[in-house]
Structure 1
Amino acid sequence: MTTRTVYHIGLDGVPPHLLEEAITRGYTPELADIRAEGASGTTKTVAPPLSMAAWCSFSTGRDPGAHGIYNFILREEGSYKTRFANGDILHANSIPIWDYLDSNGISTGIMNLMAGYPPSESSGFHIGDIVTSPPDGSFIYPNILAEEIEEKVTSYELDQYTPYTPDKTERQLQKYLDGLFRMDEERTNIGKYLIEQTENSVYSYVFSAPDSIQHCLAHIRDESHPEHEPGLVETYADKPLELLTIYDEFLGWLRSYMDDEDVLIVLSDHGHSPVHGQINLNSWLYNNGYLSLESTSLTKLKLFGYNHLFNTFEAILHRLDLFGTVKEAVAKAEGDDEDGDKSDNYGLKDLLTISRMDYDWNETVAYTIASGGQIYLNTSNDHPAGWITAENYDDIREALRKDLLNIRDPKTGDEVIENVYFGEEVYSDEYKNTRPDLIALPVDEYQIQYPQTMKTKEVFGSAPKPGSHSSEHDRTGIFLALGGGANGQDVKMDITDYAPTTLGLLNQPVPAPMTGSIRDDVFDVDATVSEYDGRVAAKRSVRQVTKTVKNS
């Protein structure tokens, strides 16, 4: 067994061009040194580039088809129901790297890594992520660690800051940024404390603010953005670069703390590109005959509201600082029916959005359940009212693919969808029963909207409001590494490569189910691949029995 420690520092959403600008302009000398002395390149992430699916692939070494977390919102097998991704689902579907290591007596320290709630009870510590962790829940394991962190450093704060939107003042924008900077400054201090006070072989920390600040300020940095605010450029355009100095200081501290045999890996789960226009795929599916709606009074009422009143209602929620809260509550809400088909029971999501309860499933061909462009066909083998059979599946799917590729922007005539992949082209088969049938990826500067806000009279939207995703994820993140023989420039890592490579760096066998590669071309590793021997599941079962006894 090695005495080496591997440190993963995730800078959520940092694109290569932002890192290059930060290094060139002198904001990040530590990152410049790491790039010069070690290995560097890019990280190719999942399709579509969504943080939930990407970080789950990072931790399991498997593509979304092999861990089943395709998006933030997931379709339940054999049902029209959906559920919000979380740590329980990840553990039920796959095995994160910390569970493999735990089964071999190796402890880990995890902070803010999706899907991290409930936190894993593996040896070491586990702090839940900002998306799946409830503010009032116990998202730190062991529980006593939360009190220790608050006493010795500061209270651990989840991401609860309300983003800036154009109907707010510049003072509110500054307040938002102050909170964002403070949150991650405190998080780096907590990270330092935990490294100093605990002994783990792997530390995986993810810092989310880089993603948030780019979503918020892209229209200020992008002079061609339709919502560009030139009056704010001088004060705010460099804020994303200034934010990176927080992590650069932390990396400098970490490098001075590390031993010679330790390994430091810096990565992002995706990049960022500007957004100048939007399309709602469910609206497009409806207007092109692929999605049908019921004619009930409730459905008609909701359609009138979204077509004529939604923009005003959204603006009011923003002014009251409630939009983010309501949006999150609706996204995480579950339906109440038990059989996965329609019933008289409506959940919060079903009452407030154009949902599965409004679709005429006897006529619907295809639908989406979340942003990102993942489309499901209403197949007879895994939908309660599905009618598409194996005999007509291929023809219908190919026809839809061609129609999607022919979508044109009504103002410019330019294409909107760059590529449409079949599910099996990008995802493996383990969770094929909940796998999207098609994945439509938009061209640069276009975003696919959340389907729940579909308007039957509006397929295309203008540029997102500032502060509300005025940039969007792309599939290219960053990669830098130091130690462990790391070498090479222009290295092309896949998000699934990190888990097996980390096991190799710790001289641990790599489980055969991992779909990522052991990157012995980048690091000095001589890893073996072994079949999973069941010890992880056995240990997990013991913990579950113990937990049941404690709660009885």
Structure 2
Amino acid sequence: MNDKKKVIVIGLDGVPSNLLFQELCNSLPNIHRMMDNGLYATLTSCDPPITIPAWMVMMTSKTPGELGVYGWRQRTGYSYNEAWIANSLSIKEPKVWDLLAKEDKRACLIGIPPSYPPISVKGNLISCNLTPKNSKNFAYPPELANEIEGLVGDSYMFDVRRTDDRDEFLKKLYEMTETRFKVIKYLISKEQWDYFMFVEIGFDRLHHMFWKYHDKLHPKYPPNNKYEQVIPDYYRYFDEKIGEILSQADDDTYIILVSDHGTGGMKGAFCVNEWLMNEGYLVLKKYPSDVTELDRCDIDWDKTTAWGWGGYYARIFLNMKGRESNGIVAPDEYDRVRDELKSRILNITGPNREKLDNIVFHPEKLYGECNGSKPDLLVYFDNLFWRSAGTIGHKALYLSENDTGPDDSVHLKEGIFVIYNKRGKNGHSSRLDTLSIYDIAPTVLDIMGIQPPYDFSGKVSKEVSHWVHNL
């Protein structure tokens, strides 16, 4: 193998395969060239298909259960109210760049969730969207922060927040991406690296703000709206930026486009805790007068069997004796209670009594090893098209909107994978069968001439390996 091979990974948070490969491909000349002269596939995300843990699942080839990270926030032990937010220190498993460092290879890393606070790497790191606004602690080595500020001033942005002012959002989105690419191109040309990776979180934010304006099948699509082309326009803009990266790559550099999950139109939100109350699993001492977060509600734990967390999927916890401080479910009743609850969830219908494609996972069956405070059930309402609303006070089961702010889209499992090298030629069948998010880390290591660890959850893509090593 040629150990001089280098890899650039361009992470597109939330980009779905149908939008990129089918709808927009012909208007994206650089991505189209990569697909024609390289290989591409739909990339199946992990369960759950959420930014955190998905990027770390991709980079470690370990399940969320092995990582002990089931979403942005996790329970603190088995506390009813305390939780912690995942960050760079939460990920204990070695990542691709850690394994490369053992082979004396350097990495340059930008915006990969979660990478705040910045931690030591063999190379350079700029932290991710978890970075507090105006923080000066966003880079490794620390002096890199001063270098970046010297390049772009204080204009470097880690994220752009959702807002009802969509025009202001778009302005900030383009400012964020433009500044990020200025830094990316600078570091690609200045630094010594073998592995370069950055993630653009802007795609995810764009989808959540504008999906209904683009997707004609969205239940809230407004015909002939002024935002119809907002999503395609940003994709075309980003394609131009990818072209600039392609022009910087030499013959030994392989460029990978990848997304952590897909995106689809949100049908609405299902109030999981309102439903658990109706079914007798969750008991309040007093129903709130306004919409209220669960941990601010007056819950009668001595009578509560189960409660849920909201998000793009639901996490259900049983109130277990010996585990929770006021648990009421005996250990020998665990399987019966959980199976009964699962059966009822599978039979939940939509607002018009329509059948929903609900999916319920047992974490220990899904992952095998489960670290941290795992939920007792993971639930996809209508296979993720209905998000889970954890708040209480709606006096309803179905909401037409997200309960935590403006949102048009949900996370689905079908992401993207594209690999390209300038020596690649058209004339071969470039579409591959579906790849798994777990296959990315071993495949990257294989490209760079390194044997992947035996305990990875994924495997080297034989098709990608054959193509790379026979160019």
Question: By the TM > 0.5 criterion, same fold?
Answer: yes
CA offset digits 1:116-139 (Å, max 9, x no partner): 111121121111111x21113312
1:470 equivalent to 2:408? Answer yes
Relative distance call for 1:381 and 1:500 in structure 2 (3 A) is farther
Indicate if the aligned counterparts of 1:185 and 1:246 stay in contact, CA closer than 8 A. no
Give distance in 2, aligned partners of 1:224 and 1:265.
30
Relative distance call for 1:445 and 1:220 in structure 2 (3 A) is farther
TM-score scaled by length of structure 1: 0.78
Which residue number corresponds to residue 70 of structure 1? Answer: 70
2:320 maps to amino acid: T
**TM-aligned CA deviation for residue 282 of structure 1:** 1.6
Moved over 6 A (4+): 484-487
1:418 to 358, 372, 376: 358
Give distance in 2, aligned partners of 1:380 and 1:512.
38
**1:94-493 matches, cutoff 5 A:** 94-130=93-129, 132-137=130-135, 138-155=137-154, 157-159=156-158, 161-165=160-164, 172-230=165-223, 232=225, 235-295=226-286, 303-306=288-291, 353-355=293-295, 358-371=298-311, 372-410=313-351, 412-431=352-371, 434-443=373-382, 446-451=385-390, 453-455=391-393, 457-464=395-402, 468-483=406-421, 488-493=430-435
Give distance in 2, aligned partners of 1:353 and 1:229.
31
Indicate if the aligned counterparts of 1:226 and 1:463 stay in contact, CA closer than 8 A. no
**TM-aligned CA deviation for residue 174 of structure 1:** 2.2
Q: Could you tell which deviates more after superposition, 358-367 or 456-465?
A: 456-465
1:7 equivalent to 2:5? Answer no
**1:496-515 matches, cutoff 5 A:** 496-515=438-457
Relative distance call for 1:277 and 1:178 in structure 2 (3 A) is same
**TM-aligned CA deviation for residue 286 of structure 1:** 1.6
**TM-aligned CA deviation for residue 481 of structure 1:** 0.7
1:207 maps to amino acid: E
SS in 1 for 2:56: helix
Indicate if the aligned counterparts of 2:389 and 2:402 stay in contact, CA closer than 8 A. no
**TM-aligned CA deviation for residue 389 of structure 1:** 3.5
Indicate if the aligned counterparts of 1:146 and 1:156 stay in contact, CA closer than 8 A. no
**1:519-538 matches, cutoff 5 A:** 519-524=461-466
Give distance in 2, aligned partners of 1:256 and 1:208.
23
Which residue number corresponds to residue 494 of structure 1? Answer: 436
Which residue number corresponds to residue 550 of structure 1? Answer: none
Which residue number corresponds to residue 90 of structure 1? Answer: 91
Indicate if the aligned counterparts of 1:273 and 1:444 stay in contact, CA closer than 8 A. no
Indicate if the aligned counterparts of 1:108 and 1:201 stay in contact, CA closer than 8 A. yes
Give distance in 1, aligned partners of 2:468 and 2:207.
39
Relative distance call for 1:492 and 1:446 in structure 2 (3 A) is closer
**TM-aligned CA deviation for residue 195 of structure 1:** 0.7
Indicate if the aligned counterparts of 2:43 and 2:417 stay in contact, CA closer than 8 A. yes
CA offset digits 1:334-368 (Å, max 9, x no partner): xxxxxxxxxxxxxxxxxx73217733332222222
Give distance in 1, aligned partners of 2:25 and 2:103.
43
Larger helix share, 1 or 2: 1
Identity %: 27
Relative distance call for 1:413 and 1:294 in structure 2 (3 A) is same
2:99 maps to amino acid: Y
2:53 maps to amino acid: A
SS in 2 for 1:387: coil
Indicate if the aligned counterparts of 1:266 and 1:479 stay in contact, CA closer than 8 A. yes
CA offset digits 1:324-343 (Å, max 9, x no partner): xxxxxxxxxxxxxxxxxxxx
SS in 2 for 1:473: strand
Unaligned segments of structure 1, at least 5 residues: 166-171, 307-351, 528-552
Indicate if the aligned counterparts of 2:358 and 2:381 stay in contact, CA closer than 8 A. yes
Give distance in 1, aligned partners of 2:468 and 2:204.
35
**TM-aligned CA deviation for residue 493 of structure 1:** 1.5
Give distance in 1, aligned partners of 2:58 and 2:335.
32
CA offset digits 1:392-411 (Å, max 9, x no partner): 1111111111100111123x
1:108 maps to amino acid: A
Give distance in 1, aligned partners of 2:271 and 2:69.
22
SS in 2 for 1:290: coil
1:502 maps to amino acid: V
Relative distance call for 1:97 and 1:58 in structure 2 (3 A) is same
Q: Could you tell which deviates more after superposition, 241-250 or 265-274?
A: 241-250
Which residue number corresponds to residue 530 of structure 1? Answer: none
TM-score scaled by length of structure 2: 0.90
